[in-house]
Structure 1
């Protein structure tokens, strides 16, 4: 049975989340010090993208990729957290990108921490921490104040080495899915207009 890239990625993400829980919840070292999310990251505001020309860098909103633009806002590993809208739609990104003004992006304060931060934030019900009234909203103060045990550098490295192959596979699946979509979008109008004739194909 052949599964779609989306289903494969959901399965890989579930496996990575299970490894996170094993490392940092079930087998957490009681000697790890308590701290706050602000000890690990800087939360940054995204920016308006409307004046940017089209390009190759993805623009992320709370629903995912919105378009591709000429230059990135940030080029390093990051965790994207909705500032308004669907607050629980947290994303991990490891390529140059642009983040819209309703989406926070994050700078890591130490190595091998981005994937840990992603799984930690994703495991939280951010929607229940809503600071808005009409529109669900998140604030830097709420995110910075989230409490957690700060894992050792050794534990973070071990976790990184365990889940990095899964993330690489997810990235390949996403790239394949995007290329297939682009190919479909390019061929479909030509098929509909008769520019490409498939009547003689033996299917």
Structure 2
């Protein structure tokens, strides 16, 4: 819709024209915990999944925050890996949060996917550790369609993104159910021998 069918009247711009970028800052490591105490914390891409990061750590001293549905991008090698914030969370120095300025968050996410080749330039060669800073990220060039075209895109893609989110939530619930029931079944605490299938 935007790559192969670009219109000549679309504006040439940069990423900061359509999005606000928050570079992560790591809290004190003494504030980290796995006990659900404080705010969900993602240090970098290690927690990234298919679409949403896996919650592992929390922090009681959040520094920089990402909002629900913000695009999360790895800013250290490998630069450019993407996920979506499932909920408000704290982000560490390995991540940036990219938030739409005009409520076209799906366009921002898929624009970031389309910038993968440009972002690959920031991955180091040989022994150089790849990274990207806020200035370079803000200046990433892109074409900006009209507001009407962006609204059309959001109307088309948002239900798909919502379905992905709902499926993810159901998968998480089923995993939690499995993890609570399986040990009880294996130990014999739950007896299912009399259930007629």
Classify the TM-score, shorter chain.
Answer: 0.7 to 0.9
Aligned residues: 180
Give the secondary-structure state (helix, strand or coil) at the position aligned to 1:66. coil
Residue ranges of structure 1 left out of the alignment (5+ in a row): 1-21
Alignment of 1:59-138 (within 5 A): 59-60=41-42, 61-62=44-45, 63=48, 64-67=53-56, 69=58, 73-93=65-85, 95-112=87-104, 114-123=105-114, 124-125=116-117, 126-130=119-123, 133-138=127-132
8 Å contact kept, 2:67–2:85 = no
Q: 1:154 aligns with which of 143, 148, 151?
A: 148
1:6-40 Cα shifts (integer Å, max 9, x gaps): xxxxxxxxxxxxxxxx2x12322211121111211
Cα distance in 2 between the residues matched to 1:89 and 1:100: 15
Alignment of 1:51-62 (within 5 A): 51=31, 54=36, 58-60=40-42, 61-62=44-45
Q: TM-score, normalised by structure 2?
A: 0.76
Q: 1:177 aligns with which of 154, 165, 171?
A: 171
Give the secondary-structure state (helix, strand or coil) at the position aligned to 1:183. helix
Give the secondary-structure state (helix, strand or coil) at the position aligned to 1:65. coil
Give the secondary-structure state (helix, strand or coil) at the position aligned to 2:54. strand
Cα distance in 2 between the residues matched to 1:201 and 1:128: 59
